[in-house]
Structure formats: C-alpha cells, structure tokens
Structure 1
C-alpha cells in the first residue's frame, strides 16, 4: 500500500492499475481518481505543502501534478528510473523528490520537482530499492531500503552516498523518518521481521523494537512490509505478513497494542498508514482496515474489487446493486440519500470470471461465470443459494425474469431454466447476447453474424432481424416492453419496436468502439451505454439526437452500466472502479 498522508488530514492516496485514487479518510466511499499515467501507477505521495502530488509508474516515470484544480494540471513529468518506481519521498521544503525502485545502472534518483534536474548521485545499492524517506528538517538526510539487505544513508543537498547500514539479514521493505524533528530518528523494517531504530542525523543504530511475547527476538512472526509514524513521531505502526498490525512506542521501545486481522494468506498486511486519529492498513486481498486504539479487531473494513469489473445488476426496489469481477468476486452495494454502503455476499460463489449479473423484480439475483455455472443470490440475506446449474460451455449472456432464466453459451446453446430445471436448444450459430421481455413471453438472441432472433419460450423462432453492422454484444428490452435495444461490436445501437420489430431509433451512434453494455431507465425514456472507448453515453427516446457524454469514465473501457433511478447512473469498468453519476436530462 503506497499510501500517504494528506497534510490537511482529509484524504489518503493509493494506486490501482493506471489510476491514483484520492480517497476521503472519514468517508472512504467518497473518492476521485487521477488517470493520466500511461502505465500502471505504483506509488503516489503528497508534497509537504499539500499543493502537489508526485506519482510513479511501472515504466519509471514520475508525474508531478497539482491538487488544487479538478483537472490536476501536470507540473512536470520526469523519467526517473529505467524500471518500476517503488517509492517516492519529498524533501520538507517541497522542492526536491527522490524516486527509488528498479533500474539498470541506478536504483534511485534525486531531482527538482519542477524542472526534473538531477540534484546528486544516489549510488550504493546493488539490487532493487523498495523504500525511501527524507529527514523533515535541515541538515538534509535521505535513507533508502533495498533488496540487497542494506539501508543506505545520504546527506544532501546535493545527495551523496555516505554509508550502508547492514542491520537486516533479509530484504529491507520499508524505511521512514519520524515526521517531528524533536524525535530525530528513522526506523527500518524487513522481511527478517525486524524493526531497527537509527539516529536521524548520523545514521547510527540506536535500538530495536521487539515483541517479547514472541520469544524469538523479533517484532513480528512474519516479514514486515510497511511502517507509519503518528504525527509527533513518538509512535509507529507496522504491518506484517503474519496478519497483524502492531502499535509501538518508539521512545520507550515498547509494544503498546496488537491489531489482529486474520491468519490466512489473504489477511497478510501489506501496507499501513497513521493519519491523525485514523490507523488503517491494507490486506493482501485489497481490504482497507480501520483500527481504533483499545480494540484488537478492525472497527471498519472497506471492501471492493481489485480486478476489472465485468458485470453489474441493479435491484431498484431495494436501492441495491451488485457487481462481479474478473476474479470471480461479487459485491453488493446500497445507495441511498447520496451515500454508498458495502454489503458482503456470502456463500459459495464463482471460481472464475463473473460473466453476467441480472436481478429479478423480487430481488433474486442470477449470475453466470466462466466456471460454467449459473448461480443465484438472495438479495435479502446477500447470500449465494446452494443450488447451481451447470452450463454446457462457457456462458456468454444471461437474463432472468419471474423465475425463468435464459443463458446463451459460446458453444452454440440456448438454455432456459424454469424452477431449476434446464432445457437446452442447440443452434447452428454462436449466440452472444440474450434478453427476456418484461412479460416473459419472448427471448431475443443476438449472434456473431449481426442477427437478432426472437424466440418464444418454447424456443421457436418467431422473428429474425438483421439490421446491425457488427456482432451483437448486448440486448435489452425496455421496462415497458415496447422497445428492444441492440448494440454491436461496430459501435452501433439500434432500437426496435416490439409490436412489429421495425427500427424505431438509428441515431444512437456516438460511441467510437465496441458497445459493452446498454440498460434502460425505469420510465423507459432513456438508456445508458458503456463502451470500449471508455465513455458512458446517456440516450433519449423522445429526443434521439440528444445525448449526454461522460468522456473517459473508466480507463481501458466501460464494461457495465445501469440506472439506479431515472436520474442516477452507475457504471463499472476495466479499471476496477464503480462510479455513480447524477444525470440532468436534456
């Protein structure tokens, strides 16, 4: 977790994919994203002044951008290293930056934030550098932590190697200076489960933090990934692979409290941050844990997706929506009075990518996954039911109404499931999308050859439509049942009258790439679509030439969209994020 303190204490930063997430620490469901990196972002740090953020990526670039304007205007971009940037540290004057990570000839570089001019030579390491910290007052001192098992000490400016501190016996994962010069020391943490204290001016080792209850002379029972000081530098927290976060009194060299997250692999603590009264950590599974002094377990856990979100379904009557992702996880969310809340979905779910989600009017949620199964979730209990139905191949699309579920598979089958009993029709084409009309009397099936076939529930073809220009990607009936929207790979969206299957609307053509999703508003007057072009478009039935464009809604593509009500849209995408938009229609 490359999290960092915001000088004003309101937000914290971390990275996910190509995005830098700026999250409100009091209300963590309030967030924004900086999305200008061309490669996956790896670290982000506020300047001590609070006016700028420096963020690094896997290609070795560091971008410096302002925090004042909503556009986050770029101040400077520098190629800091030849490889991944692992950590960044600002000097206390907010003028100089040190970036460390992977490289060829150098694993660290110091430069001015505005011009990118080099201000010293950061030599001395022979392997990847994992962390860097700068002393918060004069004289300037910088320390780095490396896979070569050393902590290097650099006076400056200009920065110059002085000595290596070789207290650790395994990789050194983190090093941090006390933020208060009155407590003039820095602490290093390593995979040897050790925490060492060093004098801030000289770099001499002055002590060690040890949990005496362990009986092995270590601070933790596993490697330590991250440490973070409180505001005055008298205490710090450490996050370890042993599933704990520990709070230490650095001055007294004593352990004050142990926070326990869990003992399984996903409970490994890979990051931590102490900001004001908030103590938070990051679990290996992506959970953000909030702790409170005096309470051993987390008092709040913020959950979400770590991989691309591939499916979304809304339960409007319950102000709830569900999202599924590439790694098979399903999360439930409620949205009311402008506030979002997360709900765990328990039970045996999918073991592979969630390909589709759909909610019935009674609150039952049906899901399909690339584990070749159809499952259902009870919305009231937020639990997967025990029953599941296997599919004859990888499912491509699903729809469900009033206990009738239709699934199309990539192996050329259309399966109708009634009361848990499937009946399958093998077809000579590859179905790519299905939709049930609200009355449950017709099934629309799209294919790779641009055709839409209309079946009755006995799986007999009653109509065939060939108007789209590319492979059908998604189909959706309007809630009032009078219209069918058909989107394709060639960015076209057509709307048909269901009374005679004639074309009603042809003007919804503002996407620039494959359309991945289309959904209707509850009043059937508008539709929303998401595309590989990263945009969300809101369409009008009454004014088909009018549309609302949300440009760059999701990096690398919008995978799912839906209306929460007639004026609120939710979208999810390849960037693993969920966004809620308030719409003012034309």
Structure 2
C-alpha cells in the first residue's frame, strides 16, 4: 500500500510567554508593523496585533528562549536562548532566515535587549560572571565598546534613539549606569533606588529616560546626559515591573499591584493621568508583569497567569479592554467535543477553544499541577479532568464552568468516560465505577501491580488495564478473562475499537489484540521510536501518536500503515485528539497546538 505524508496544517493556536511571579515578562511591540514578539519554549512568536489569532514563529533555537526584541524598523528580531546563543533573523519573510547566529555569545541568561535606531547595533544584558552586558554589530558580531563597572545581574537596558547614542542599564545593584559612545564607555553610576531596577526606557525623542523598580519608584532622567530630574515614590502599591512610552511626554507602567497607570511629564515632574484595573477582585495570577504601548491611546499588557489584556482609550475613566488566554507550558491532555477543543497543561490551566480562541472556564479549576487526563462523556456535554495531584473536576461545557470537584485519599492513576454518565476511575488496587458522580461499583485488581492505563469498550462491558511492566488485564464486566503480555515496558495507551484492543508502550511498540479471544493480531507494530502517548480511533482508521514527533495512520481492516505524519512539532508530541469532522489536533514541546487536515478519504469539512 502506498504510504504518503498527506497532511497540511490548517490552524495553529499560539502559546503565551513564560512568566515568573514578581518578575518582568519579556514582550515587545513593533508600532510600525503592529506586531508583538515574545518567547515560548524554544520558539519565538510574532503575533499580529490587529488580528491576534494570526501569528508566525521562528524555530531556529534548540533551547528555551529567554528574550526577543524587534529592531526599530521592524525588519529584524534579536533573540537569545538559555545556552547563550544569540540569533538575529528576518522578521518579515515567512521563512525568518537568520542574518547572524552567535554561539554561546552572551555572558549569562539574557534579560533585556536594546537596538540602536540605525538598526546596526544590539545591546544584551543579564546574568554573568565577569561581564553582564555586550554590544555588538549585527553584520559581523564584533563587540562595540566595553560595558563595564557592573557587579550584579542587569535587568534592563536601553539606547537613546537620536544621535549621539547613549546607553543606560540597571538591575540588581539598585544602580543606574550611564555609557557614552559608540564605542561605549562607562561615564557614571547613580544609586537612587533601594531595590531592583526592573525596567529603563528612553523617550522617543531622547529628551528623557525613566526607571521603574521594586521599591515602587519612578525616576525621571535627562536623556542627553543622564542627570536626575525628578523622583516619584510609592507610584504603585507594589513593585513596578515594566514601563513604556506612549509618546514624547506620556508613558505607562505595570505593577505587581495588578494595575496599569498612565503618566505625563510636565515641567520635569511626573503626574498620574489614569489608573487601569483589569479585574474587580484581582488575585496573585493577575499581577501585571509587562506592558507595551501600541499607539498613544492603546496598550497591551500581560498578567502572571498568562492573560493578555488589550486596553483602548486608556486616558479615559471608561477605558475598554478585552482579554486573550493562552497556555504557558506543554499541553498535556486534550479532547474535542462537537463544538469545542478542550486542553489542559502542565501548570493545571484548562482552556475551552472555539474558532481558535481560548477561554478559561468559570469556577475553581486546578492549580499548579499537571493535567494528566481529560475525558468526555457521550453527549459531549461534560469533561472530566484528572490532575497529577489526583483530584477530579467536572467541567460543564454548556455553561463553561467547573461544577463539581472530588478529592481522593488513594492515588488516582487514570480515568475513562463511558456512555452518558459513567466514569471509570483507576486506583492502585481497584477500578471505581461512578454513575452521575456517585460510586456504584468497585472492581478489585489482582495479579497486576502498578496499573497506569485504562480503557473500556463503548458499552462499558469490556475493560482493559495496563501496568508499568507490560501486562494487560481484560475484564468482561467484573471478571478477568485474559492477561496479556505486551512487552516489558510501560503500557502508556489503551483503546478499544469494535473489533480490537490497541495497546502502545513507552518504547514506541504497539500491539493489536482480539480482546475476546485474548490473542495478538500482529507481530507488534514498531514504527515509533519513542513513547506512544495516545491511540485514537475513527471508523476503521487508527492513529498512533508518539513522542518521536510522528502521527501514524493505520487501517484496521488490513492492519497496515496508510500514512506517516512526521515532524509535526519542533521535537516531541505530548497530546492529541480527534474531532468528528476528520481532523487531528496535536500539542508538542514547542507549546503550540496544531490542527491537521489529512488523508483524502476521511470525512472532512
């Protein structure tokens, strides 16, 4: 049978930036092109601010990226990863070709980047040992001056736009450092702060620069010589994490106090114009770690919980805003109902997606724990979610809210939904059967230790349990009818069709079983080279999804491979699901969610 990689990506859902409580998040707006750039895992995302679902990404880094910033003309992006590799690449073309790649060039984890207005030089600052900053030419990588006189991590850097170029940087020494050039040389250090300086930015015309810090101060400096002009204490009720200019004399700040403030410079003094509260009763996740102006009346901000806020008419009391959600980590579980894609990640966040837009359900969800399984009932109205902590929550899709929550004294290893109102719950020593959220039966497990995987036939008559040592038990109702030996690896996935039971393991091997007779129908499919994460079934088609970054399509009638979808993500696939209209959704270690259209003889819209 002919085997082709016959698929196309028809939709992608972008992840959000990684955030750390109380620390500035790296996002940057190019006002000229109306684009936003930020880092997610080992890719760099460029999103269209006028159509936020539209985005591109750069995947030239092999390690997690810590910082990225547009050049002033918007044509280039400089990005740096955890292994200190610096890339400058084309931000306009679809292929995002690199202009220069400097391996292990940075002195430590980079926290901020600045460009000169002629788009020729880049400054990078962050952690280090002997040096904490570098300035280089993007054509050659040659160093431009010596950014010295620094003893601790730098959090922020900026370069004056108009000539003569001036460079200022600040960080964990509570100081602000001033350099003249190029080539850059140290001129002075000022200590006006009592805590970390988190962000420093020159005004567009170069007349001023401001610093914001964890001690709640905003300090205004002369942009030509670095002289301090004024200081505002207690500008926020919490540490100030980022700032950005709206125009030559107005700027915005974001804070751990969960607010954004709009400020004006008048006679070298800082005056508050407006305060923006994005939530009535903000929580820790609502700390605003970043803010960027889009134009003089509009901005975008980012919360600790990963929510983007778009604010318009920001100088008016009745400002408007909308929020956009995204995952900030690997999506570890997903299911698809008739109307929605439901996803859960390693942080415990669950999103309901409709037309590519994610929404957080109302109610109390999981917190700081991996979502290990999502299961959908037959009418597709309820999702059961299982976390690594072992709690189960009931998500009502009609109302888009968590309606119930259950905790267990014993470890919960897996769950499986059967029919309209049954849920099978796999514990270490038993399978608990629930109907309408109440326990109605318990099947005791014998001669199978460390059970980890679970599946049931559509009518619930047959149940399969797999363990960490390659053993599978098949139950007919409550009675064990077969004990199968798959391989000596973890049984990571089980799935019943009308005819067979399919099993996959942690080594990438699969098997097809006649579950009524208890015999293997194949000599073990061994096309995968890594853990089989999921087995999905639609009609006579079987899909095996693996951490080897492949999705293989099999025909149940011939038990032969039809298609092999390779390199779906940048490295590994961790979860997948099928929709009823013949599409497959995948999520990988790049944090992206992809919707694939494939194989012409499947029913597709």
TM over 0.5: yes
Q: CA deviation at 1:500?
A: 5.2
The worse-fitting range, judged by mean Cα deviation, of 70-79 and 132-141 is 70-79
- Work out the CA distance in 2 between the residues paired with 1:532 and 1:323: 18
* 77, 91, 96: which one aligns with 1:53: 77
- Contact kept, 8 Å, 1:308 with 1:575, in 2: the verdict is yes
TM-score, L = length of structure 1: 0.89
- 1:158, CA displacement in angstroms? 0.7
* Partner deviation per Cα, 1:422-481 (whole Å, 9 max, x = no partner): 514133322221112122221122222323332122x21233443456321111234xx2
2:332 counterpart residue number: 310
Partner of residue 57 from structure 2, selected from 11, 33, 57: 33
Q: Does residue 297 of structure 2 align to residue 274 of structure 1?
A: no
Tell me whether 125-134 or 260-269 shows the greater mean CA deviation: 260-269
Cross-structure match for 1:435:
455
Deviation per residue, 1:374-418 (Å, 9 max, x gap):
332211112222352626314245343322212223x34322223
1:273-422 residue pairs with structure 2 within 5 A?
Answer: 273-276=292-295, 278-293=298-313, 294=316, 299-315=321-337, 317=338, 319-334=339-354, 339-351=355-367, 352-362=369-379, 363-386=381-404, 388=406, 390=408, 392-409=410-427, 411-419=428-436, 420-421=438-439, 422=441
**2:604 maps to 1:582:** no
- Using the TM superposition, give the Cα deviation of residue 57 of structure 1 relative to its aligned residue in structure 2, in angstroms: 2.4
SS in 1 for 2:584: strand
Distance 2:483 2:377 in 1: 27
**Per-residue Cα deviation, 1:525-566 (whole angstroms, up to 9, x for no partner):** 4344432223444445568333142405155x3221011244
Q: Which residue of 1 aligns with 2:116?
A: 91
Are 2:552 and 2:561, in contact at CA under 8 Å, matched by a contact in 1?
no
Per chain length, whose mean CA-contact separation is higher, i.e. which structure has more relative contact order (CA < 8 Å, sep 6+)?
2
SS at match of 1:239: strand
Say if 2:551 is the partner of 1:551.
Answer: no
Distance across 2 between alignment mates of 1:540 and 1:237: 58
Q: Which residue of 1 aligns with 2:257?
A: 242
1:359-388 deviation line (CA, Å, top 9, x unaligned):
012221112222223332211112222352
User: In the alignment, which residue of structure 1 is the partner of 2:223?
Assistant: 200
- Contact 2:31/2:294, CA 8 A, preserved across alignment: no
Give matches, 1:223-238, under 5 Å.
Answer: 223-230=239-246, 232-238=247-253
Change (3 A) 1:133 1:448: same
Aligned with residue 488 of structure 1, among 481, 484, 505: 505
Structure 1 residue aligned with 2:5: none
> Which is worse superposed, 4-13 or 98-107?
4-13
Q: Which shifted more, 534-543 or 146-155?
A: 534-543
- TM-score relative to the length of structure 2: 0.86
* Structure 1 CA distance for aligned equivalents of residues 409 and 463 of structure 2: 18
Structure 1 residues 152, 393: CA separation in 2 closer, same or farther (over 3 Å shift)?
same
Partner of 2:546: 531
- Any stretches of 5+ residues in structure 2 without a counterpart? 1-24
Larger mean Cα displacement after TM superposition, 363-372 or 132-141 = 363-372
Deviation string for 1:260-307 (max 9, x for gaps)? Answer: 135432222111111236411111122111112235676211223223
Structure 2 contact 418–458 (Cα < 8 Å) conserved: no
Residue 164 (structure 1) aligned with residue 189 (structure 2): yes
Contact 1:484 1:497 in 2 (8 A): yes
Q: Is residue 157–residue 169 contact of structure 2 (8 Å, CA) maintained in 1? A: yes
- Give how far 1:116 is off: 1.4
Would you say the 8 A contact 1:131–1:174 is kept in 2? yes
The equivalent residue for 1:77 is 101
In the alignment, the residues of structure 1 paired with residue 521 and residue 575 of structure 2 have an alpha-carbon distance, to the nearest angstrom, of 24
The equivalent position to 1:256 in structure 2, one of 273, 295, 314, is: 273
Query: Partner of 1:266: helix, strand, or coil?
Result: helix
Contact 2:285 2:305 in 1 (8 A): yes
CA apart distance, 1:502: 5.5
Any conservation in 1 of the 2:413–2:451 contact (CA below 8 Å)?
no
Taking the aligned partners of 2:151 and 2:264, their CA distance within structure 1 comes to 33
Is this contact kept in 2: 1:398–1:433, CA < 8 A?
Answer: no
Structure 1: which 5+ runs fail to align?
Answer: 211-216
SS at match of 2:285: helix
Q: Secondary structure at the match of 1:545?
A: strand
- In 1, Cα distance between the equivalents of 2:252 and 2:553? 47
* Equivalences, count: 563
Rounded to whole Å, the distance in 2 between the matches of 1:176 and 1:31 is: 27
- State the SS of the aligned residue for 2:225: coil
Cα distance per residue 1:132-157 (max 9 Å; x no partner): 11112221111111211111111111
Alpha-carbon distance between aligned partners in 2 of 1:537 and 1:34, rounded to the nearest angstrom = 26
- The CA distance in 2 between the partners of 1:150 and 1:389, in whole Å, is 50
Contact residue 59 and residue 85 of structure 1 kept, 8 A: no
TM-fit CA distance, 1:127: 1.2
How far 1:131 moved relative to its partner? 0.7
Shift, 1:98, TM fit: 0.6
1:320–1:332 Cα contact (<8 Å) kept: yes
Contact 1:260 1:296 in 2 (8 A): no
Q: Distance in 2 between matches of 1:372 and 1:132?
A: 45
Whether the 8 Å contact between 2:372 and 2:388 is mirrored in structure 1 is yes
Q: What residue number does 1:214 align with?
A: none
Once the two structures are TM-superposed, the CA of residue 259 in structure 1 deviates from its matched residue by: 0.6
